[in-house]
Amino acid sequence: MLNRYPLWKYLLILVVLLVGLIYALPNLYPADPAVQISSTASGAALDQERLDRLTQALEDKDIAIKQSELDGNSALIRLERAGQQVAAREIIDERLGDAYTVALNLADATPGWLQALSATPMKLGLDLQGGVHFLLEVDMDAAVEQRLEANASAVRDLLRDERIRYRDTSIDGRAITFQFANADDRDAARGLITDQFPDFEYSTPDTERGASLTMTFTDQAVQDLQDYAVNQNLTTIRNRVNELGVSEPLVQRQGPSRIVVELPGVQDTAAAKRIVGATANLEFRLEARPDTPEREIETLPFRNDEGRSADLMRDIIVTGDHVSSASRSFDENNRPQVNINLDGAGGSMMSRATRANIGRNMAVVFIEHKTRTRTVMEDGEEVEKREAYTERGIISLATIQSTLGNRFRITGLESASEAGDLALLLRSGSLAAPIYFAQERTIGPSLGAQNIAQGIMSVEVGLLLVVLFMLARYKAFGVVANVSLGLNLVLLVAAMSLLGATLTLPGIAGIVLTLGMAVDANVLIFERIREELRAKMPVQQAIHTGFERAFTSIVDANITTLLVAVILFSIGTGPVKGFAVTLSLGILTSMFTAIMVSRAMINLTIGGRPLKKIWI
Amino acid sequence: MRQLDFMGKRRITFIASVLITVIAVGALAFKGLNLGLDFTGGTLVEVRYQQAPELDELRGQLENAGFEDVQVQTFGATNDILVRLQQTFDNEVGQQVVDILNTDTNSVQLVRAEFVGAQVGDQLRDQSGLGMLLALAVVMVYVAFRFQYKFAFGALIALGHDVVIVLGIFALLGLDFDLTVLAAVLAVIGYSLNDTIIVYDRIRENIRRSQTDDMPQIFNDAINQTLARTMATSGTTLLVLLALFFLGGDMIHNFSIALILGIVAGTFSSVYVSAALLLVVKLERKDLIPAQKEDDEEEELP
């Protein structure tokens, strides 16, 4: 008998290998570190002359430029070295000013014809290119408390408008309790509130004096609030990350209350952390009058003068949530200020409040929600306790001269960078609930480069050892196995690039491991062929039987490993996931190359001739 | 080809296996795994000095700055230092450590900083244990389905044997057990199973073909027939792992140790544990008879 494949099988293998080769190719062209400039204001255009001046300025500072290109209103400057991105951005920022956004970027260096086939290189994980990974936890208790505060304030307004007198309000856990002088007031209040605040369950607990009304947040409402808070935070953090100008950032929800942020290539991690995690917001409030009742007053300190404080109304005119845009600038005395535009609703609230209060003082309050962690002993074990607390400080207190509309500015900030941060935070929106850092990983860029170098080195050496081993053991058939192994590597890289998988260090380890195991299928087949030859089977028959009999073993063994890889993928995070992806793709590609491709090679070379002996 | 009498020596190897397993379990019970940051929570900062520093001095510097329970060790090179801290409250601890350690004469560079909240660590620990059990369970169901429940039993014991030995040696030597090592242990499960299945596959085939009911003889034949393959595959994989171990850098050092241990244990157990256990559970020809049909048709294909 002879060993032949039908033509279509050869063609199929050829097509698969060609496609694999094309999609693996882009990995030979690593992305260039680059700085992207785009104009934000409509009047500010970029032209070639300006770009030339910028590149000249960069070269003067010893920053090597690979290429610069102008595309309409934006420009891309490719650099030779990744470490100089930040320096380059600073220089450009300084020269162009606020009308342009300057962002760090990794520019694709894939040739055009490959890009047309949407072939892209693999992304490198944080451990290979450096950067930061944050796992943020949304503080749900604080979110609930904030929402209750807002509701309590709204209820107080309502009661005041309807002239129902209440004594006191208190918030405990998920409930707000109002104290009234008598049951009539309470019943009137209950009738009024119930319709307007449907997210609560109402009860009237007995009290010794007067009457009280408790409104408790329903489970459904807490659930909704949680989803809202996490999604809102996700949007806000995305905005902030975009403002930071990081190339290929990842902002993703994980589980019910966590958010993953990955910023590859970020070098100033402290700044990234400050911006991502900041929970700053603004409140505009009137100063209290001398005759304001005690319970409506809150005394707050000044932010840059601890000893000074002012009595403010508890009720808020407008918060930073109504800011539609904000930018930093300097006043005539060169002091930093933030220019603020309010949205429609915010503008009308502001003008209504200021119109009626010309001559009174209005305060701008800077609020920061923070959490601190303490370790306390509880039942003989150290337990971490988290406490949410809010810092409020007055930035400025100024007399209202005239009715304010939706555009105004605030002064009284300590430094230009603080004004810049505040403008950025107001622009990107505030966080719906405070967040804290549950996990953080910072990988320096030097470690990344080292990891890549060592990873590639070990892949090369490992591969070489396997190749030598197979040649020594299986001679001519070893060549077949080695060619399949090489093609396997190409297909694996192609599949990972196509899936958009991220290459991590454990991922590289996974590649190396699959290479070691990839020859297993060939080993099984070849051993079986040898065995059949020893049993005096004719050569072509032995080849056929070897492939045939080894097949079930290969499938059974690989499926079980695949099952484990899938489980690894579903429980793992970050790097372990990368390992699982590589492992499972490696199993699939190695089955294809070891069974189909090596068979095709054998069929093509010796399958058509009657042979007495083979060199195995 | 030489025939080695594996089954004849099964009592000796059983005793050896049991002994190693008992030591491993003992090490796990009394010494425990040295769980890495991923599972315990805490802070880890890796810094690189220009010149190798004095470790005690360094510890003193950090303790004076208010950090408690500081662990300092070199990582790879003598100027590469790993600092471990208990849970701290500050978010910018990485930069802080660098600022404290930086002196005029010996500059310090931050290589990496990792911070894991205790709660996240606890969750991961539960999840990983669960994942490992799930992996075992799914694989057992698959083996029971493709072969027979007695095979599943043998494979399970062999797997448990390999995993316990890897974990036990990690506990015994006090090696850091982190996420990459967990990945390696799961890969060991896959690998050791791979080996076991290959042997089982051959046993099944031989039982269906042979005329005798002499199970030890059938098993011996099967193991001898697959021995060359087992050695070749373990050999290539070990070659690759040795390359990783010596050249892959410190970050995947423990990963490669776990896999090397696992593959040695897995190769041993696929011969002596998983196959020998089939004798213990009294595998008989009739256990495999119902599946006989599918085998006969395939013989005649060209």
Nearest residue on chain A to B200, judged by CA atoms?
A553
pLDDT-derived band at A373, boundaries 50, 70, 90 = low
Put simply, whether B129 touches A (Cβ < 8 Å) is no
- Maximum Cα interatomic distance, chain A, rounded to a whole number of Å: 113
pLDDT-derived band at B299, boundaries 50, 70, 90 = very low
Q: CA B122, B128, B134, B140: dihedral to nearest 10 degrees?
A: -140
Q: Tokens representing A66?
A: 């690979």
Q: Tokens representing B78?
A: 């003598």
A33 Cβ neighbours under 8 A, 6+ residues apart: A78, A79, A81, A82, A84, A85, A104, A105, A106, A107, A265
pLDDT-derived band at A380, boundaries 50, 70, 90 = low
How far, CA to CA in Å, does A616 sit from each of A9, A541, A591? 25, 15, 21
Q: How far apart are CA B274 and CA A309, in angstroms?
A: 78
Q: Tokens representing A224?
A: 């909704």
CB neighbours of residue B240 within 10 Å: 30
ipTM of this complex prediction, to 2 decimal places: 0.81
A528 Cβ neighbours under 8 A, 6+ residues apart: A545, A546, A547, A549, A550
Q: pLDDT (tens digit, 9 = 90+) per residue, A499-557? A: 888 887 777 777 877 877 778 889 999 999 998 999 888 999 999 999 998 888 888 88
Chain A partners of B202 at a C-beta cutoff of 8 Å? 553
Does residue A227 register a pLDDT over 50?
A: yes
Does residue B30 register a pLDDT over 90?
A: yes
What average pLDDT score do residues A319-346 get?
82
What average pLDDT score do residues A363-391 get?
69
Among residues of chain A, what percentage have pLDDT more than 70? 93
In the numeric block, the tokens 């290589």 are attached to B111
Side-by-side strand order, sheet with B71-75: A250-254, A258-264, A131-138, A435-443, B108-116, B42-49, B77-85, B71-75
Interface test with A, best of B240, B264, B297, B300 (most A CBs within 10 A): B240
Chain B partners of A442 at a C-beta cutoff of 8 Å? 94, 110, 112-114
Residue B259 and residue A565: Cβ atoms within 8 Å? no
How far, CA to CA in Å, does A473 sit from each of A107, A567, B215, B236? 46, 35, 32, 11
What is the pLDDT at residue B84?
Answer: 82
Q: Could you say which of B92, B201, B240 has the minimum Cβ distance to residue A513? A: B240
Q: Tokens representing A221?
A: 């409402």
Q: How far apart are CA B218 and CA A54, in angstroms?
A: 80
The letter for the amino acid at A8 is W
What is the pLDDT at residue B302?
Answer: 47
Does residue A11 register a pLDDT over 90?
A: yes
Spatial contact of A329 and A339, defined as CB atoms under 8 Å apart: yes
pLDDT-derived band at A97, boundaries 50, 70, 90 = low
Q: Tokens representing A421?
A: 């941060």
Spatial contact of B41 and B121, defined as CB atoms under 8 Å apart: yes
Interface test with A, best of B251, B294, B300, B301 (most A CBs within 10 A): B251
CA distance B286 to chain A (A): 21
Q: How far apart are CA A436 and CA A258, in angstroms?
A: 10
What average pLDDT score do residues A101-116 get?
78
Cα–Cα nearest to A251, from A144, A364, A136? A136
Q: How far apart are CA A543 and CA A528, in angstroms?
A: 9
Q: Tell me which of B104 and B13 has the higher pLDDT.
A: B13
Q: Please give the mean pLDDT across all residues of chain B.
A: 82
Residue B142 and residue A560: Cβ atoms within 8 Å? yes
What average pLDDT score do residues B162-172 get?
94
What is the pLDDT at residue A385?
Answer: 63
Beta strand B176-177 pairing with B34-35? parallel
A338 Cβ neighbours under 8 A, 6+ residues apart: A326, A327, A328, A329, A409, A410, A413, A419, A422, A423, A426
Does residue B249 register a pLDDT over 90?
A: no
How far, CA to CA in Å, does A24 sit from each of A58, A120, A255, B126? 34, 8, 34, 38
Local structure of A61: helix, strand or coil: coil
Q: Tokens representing A297?
A: 């007053």
Side-by-side strand order, sheet with A407-410: A323-330, A336-342, A407-410
pLDDT-derived band at B18, boundaries 50, 70, 90 = very high
Q: Tokens representing A13?
A: 């293998």
SS (H, E, C) chain B: CCCCCCHHHHHHHHHHHHHHHHHHHHHHHHHCCEECHHHHCEEEEEEEECCCCCHHHHHHHHHHCCCCCCEEEEECEEEEEEEEECCCCCCCHHHHHHHHHCCCCCCEEEEEEEEECHHHHHHHHHHHHHHHHHHHHHHHHHHHHHCCHHHHHHHHHHHHHHHHHHHHHHHHHCCEECHHHHHHHHHHHHHHHHHHHHHHHHHHHHHHHCCCCCHHHHHHHHHHHHHHHHHHHHHHHHHHHHHHHHHCCHHHHHHHHHHHHHHHHHHHHHHHCHHHHHHHCCCCHHHCHHHCHHHHHHHHCC
CA distance A68 to chain B (A): 31
pLDDT-derived band at B244, boundaries 50, 70, 90 = confident
B44 Cβ neighbours under 8 A, 6+ residues apart: B37, B82, B83, B84, B85, B112, B113, B114, B115
A191 Cβ neighbours under 8 A, 6+ residues apart: none
CA B244, B250, B255, B260 dihedral sign is: positive
Among residues of chain A, what percentage have pLDDT more than 90? 11
Q: pLDDT (tens digit, 9 = 90+) per residue, A415-456? A: 777 777 778 777 777 777 778 778 888 887 677 778 778 888
Q: Please give the mean pLDDT across all residues of chain A.
A: 82
Q: Which helix (H) or strand (E) holds A56?
A: helix A48-60
Residue A195 sits at φ, ψ, to 5 deg, of -70, -35
CB contacts under 8 A, B 255-294 vs A, are 255-256, 259
Q: Could you say which of A454, A512, A563 has the minimum Cβ distance to residue B240? A: A512
Q: Could you say which of A137, A461, A568 has the minimum Cβ distance to residue B186? A: A568
Angle at CA B106, nearest 5°, toward B103 and B112?
A: 90
Put simply, whether B172 touches A (Cβ < 8 Å) is no
What is the pLDDT at residue A132?
Answer: 83
Q: How far apart are CA B259 and CA B241, in angstroms?
A: 7
What is the pLDDT at residue B292?
Answer: 47
Per-residue burial over A534-557, b = 16 or more CB atoms within 10 Å of its CB, e = otherwise: eeebebbebbbbbbebbbbbbbbb
Q: pLDDT (tens digit, 9 = 90+) per residue, A251-279? A: 888 878 888 888 877 766 667 777 787 77
Does residue A561 register a pLDDT over 60?
A: yes
Q: Could you say which of B87, B191, B238 has the minimum Cβ distance to residue A375? A: B87
The letter for the amino acid at A572 is G
Chain A partners of B242 at a C-beta cutoff of 8 Å? 465
Q: How far apart are CA A443 and CA B113, in angstroms?
A: 7
Interface test with B, best of A527, A534, A566 (most B CBs within 10 A): A527
What is the pLDDT at residue A479?
Answer: 93
What is the pLDDT at residue B46?
Answer: 84
Does residue B158 register a pLDDT over 80?
A: yes
What is the pLDDT at residue B90?
Answer: 56
Q: How far apart are CA A213 and CA B200, in angstroms?
A: 72
CB neighbours of residue A267 within 10 Å: 18
Q: CA end-to-end span of chain B, whole Å?
A: 29
Does residue B241 register a pLDDT over 50?
A: yes
Q: Tokens representing B100?
A: 């404290």
